[in-house]
């Protein structure tokens, strides 16, 4: 399948996910903050919730749609000695504090599968007496990279806890045949900077949003912008957002539901002004222009009206509560067909007010698991249970990396 993403909402054709495994059971309360989790999560229920989310995708995606488990892809990519050598070398340089150099020969002797488990769990019986922390955030595949048009922007995480995921992703793009046609168009930023996929939103083939968050540095944003402008993007909107845990990426406070509707957390998006700068290329330089608000900037550049739907409804307390549990982090399977955590009831009511039919996961799967789903003309907000998943501080958009959508 040709990899290409030209919007946040085009019909989903191929997506990369990670159903959580043993690594989440290795997070203990003392480690949770360092590992960017707000609680410890129960692996078995988290897995069930995640697999149920995938059933919704399967029911809604076209018959030839693909859902890739990222660990399967990593396993395939690490099948060759070449790929393992590259990966180990990158790990050694990107994680100097772990002193992996000392066990380099042991790592080179591992099979692809063992190496992968070592990197995800932080330990393997084949190398006794050597432990690292696990990588529980692999669940949030969104943050590893972003396909934009026919290029791929590789993340450089701001947090140490996520560095291994980025090295895995870099190896995957370089060695897995899935990325063969796109890998020459990999956009990379340099070592001292950071950008994470959750900050990158593809509003159209010409307009991309990048959050200036606690995770994306200014120079990371500028270098990513330079790369994107060379790949056919005409405008990058740099969106300044609060640098704090609850809104660590732009997509925790703002997502697209359809071509002309977005879900927005009012305190950090709707009521903010002068927090957006439009960047474009002119005679080889990047030109910036301040915009009065995200809404006006998007409407101008996309040349259509947009409705911002309030995450949490109209009451401030509900807005904050539901943003915390990823009410604003909806994921579009098709234009107007979105999924989000069931617990964000005020957000769902607000979507209903805007003409969305509300369905829970069971209703949707029952109706469409063996009947082809045609999204044309429909607006459906599908809720699913995510009481364990949301403790990792991410929602449906965070848990998905679309690599192919219909244009």
Residue of the chain from 23, 43, 98, 143 that contacts ligand CIR (CB under 6 A): 143
- Decide: is 8 part of the binding site for ligand CIR (CB under 6 A): no
Task: Judge contact between 368 and 393, C-beta under 8 A.
Answer: no
d(CA 367, CA 282): 51
- Decide: is 400 part of the binding site for ligand CIR (CB under 6 A): no
- Decide: is 325 part of the binding site for ligand CIR (CB under 6 A): no
Q: How far is the CB of 371 from ligand CIR (least distance, A)?
A: 32
Residue of the chain from 135, 252, 344, 383 that contacts ligand CIR (CB under 6 A): 252
Place of tokens 């999204």: 375
d(CA 347, CA 332): 15
- Decide: is 137 part of the binding site for ligand CIR (CB under 6 A): yes
Q: How far is the CB of 93 from ligand CIR (least distance, A)?
A: 22
In the three-class reduction of DSSP (H, G, I as helix; E, B as strand; rest coil), residue 288 is classed as strand
CA 355, 359, 365, 366 torsion: positive or negative? Answer: negative
- Decide: is 194 part of the binding site for ligand CIR (CB under 6 A): no
Among the residue ranges 91-99, 114-122, 139-147, 347-355, the one whose residues contact ligand CIR (CB under 6 A): 139-147
- Decide: is 336 part of the binding site for ligand CIR (CB under 6 A): no
Q: How far is the CB of 51 from ligand CIR (least distance, A)?
A: 19
Nearest residue to 345 (alpha-carbon basis) of 377, 381, 391, 373: 381
Cα separation values, 55 from 59, 174, 319, Å: 6, 30, 29
22-41 residues near ligand CIR, rule: CB under 6 A: 36-37
In the three-class reduction of DSSP (H, G, I as helix; E, B as strand; rest coil), residue 373 is classed as coil
Q: Which H or E run contains 116?
A: helix 112-121
d(CA 267, CA 310): 10
Of residues 262, 311, 390, 398, which has the active-site annotation? 398
Helix-then-strand count for the chain, H and E: 12, 18
- Decide: is 249 part of the binding site for ligand CIR (CB under 6 A): yes
d(CA 215, CA 210): 11
Q: How far is the CB of 109 from ligand CIR (least distance, A)?
A: 32
Looking at beta carbons, which residue is closest to ligand CIR?
Answer: 198
# chain residues binding ligand CIR, by CB under 6 A: 16
With vertex at residue 240, the alpha carbon angle to CA 239 and CA 242, rounded to the nearest 5 degrees, is 135
- Decide: is 198 part of the binding site for ligand CIR (CB under 6 A): yes
For 153, phi then psi, to 5°, come to -95, 115
Q: How far is the CB of 40 from ligand CIR (least distance, A)?
A: 13
- Decide: is 205 part of the binding site for ligand CIR (CB under 6 A): no
- Decide: is 142 part of the binding site for ligand CIR (CB under 6 A): yes
Q: Is 311 a catalytic residue?
A: no
Residue ranges in contact with ligand CIR by CB under 6 A = 36-37, 137, 140, 142-143, 162, 198, 248-249, 251-252, 392-394, 398
Q: Which residues are tagged catalytic?
A: 398
């Amino acid at each position: 399948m040709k990899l290409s993403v030209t919007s946040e909402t085009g019909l989903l054709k191929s997506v990369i996910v990670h159903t959580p495994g043993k690594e989440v059971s290795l997070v203990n309360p003392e480690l949770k903050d360092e590992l960017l989790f707000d609680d410890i999560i129960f692996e078995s229920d988290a897995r069930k919730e995640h697999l149920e989310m995938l059933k919704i995708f399967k029911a809604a995606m076209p018959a030839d749609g693909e859902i890739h488990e990222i660990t399967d892809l990593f396993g395939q990519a690490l099948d060759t000695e070449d790929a393992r050598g590259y990966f180990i070398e990158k790990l050694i340089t990107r994680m100097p504090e772990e002193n992996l150099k000392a066990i380099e020969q042991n790592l080179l002797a591992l099979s692809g599968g063992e190496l992968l488990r070592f990197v995800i769990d932080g330990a393997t019986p084949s190398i006794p007496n050597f432990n690292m922390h696990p990588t529980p955030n692999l669940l949030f595949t969104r943050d590893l990279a972003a396909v934009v048009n026919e290029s791929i922007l590789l993340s450089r995480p701001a947090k140490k806890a996520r560095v291994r995921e980025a090295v895995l992703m870099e190896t995957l793009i370089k060695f897995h045949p899935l990325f063969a046609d796109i890998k020459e168009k990999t956009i990379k930023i340099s070592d001292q900077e950071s950008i994470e996929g959750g900050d990158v939103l593809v509003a159209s083939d010409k307009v991309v949003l990048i959050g200036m968050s606690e995770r994306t540095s200014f120079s990371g944003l500028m270098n990513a912008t330079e790369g994107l402008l060379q790949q056919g993007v005409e405008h990058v909107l740099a969106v300044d957002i609060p640098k704090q845990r609850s809104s660590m990426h732009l997509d925790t406070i703002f997502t697209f539901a359809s071509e002309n509707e977005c879900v927005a957390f009012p305190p950090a998006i709707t009521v903010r002004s002068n927090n957006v700068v439009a960047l474009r290329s002119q005679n080889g330089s990047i030109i910036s222009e301040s915009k009065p608000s995200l809404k006006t900037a998007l409407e101008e550049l996309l040349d259509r009206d947009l409705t911002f739907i309030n995450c949490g409804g109209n009451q401030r307390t509900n807005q904050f509560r539901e943003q915390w549990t990823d009410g604003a982090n909806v994921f579009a399977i098709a234009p107007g067909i979105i999924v989000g955590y069931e617990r964000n009831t005020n957000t769902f009511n607000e979507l209903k007010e805007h003409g969305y039919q509300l369905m829970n996961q069971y209703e949707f799967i029952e109706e469409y698991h063996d009947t082809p789903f045609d999204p044309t003309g429909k607006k459906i907000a599908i809720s699913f249970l995510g009481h364990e998943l949301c403790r990792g501080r991410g929602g449906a958009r965070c848990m998905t990396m679309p690599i192919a959508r219909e244009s």
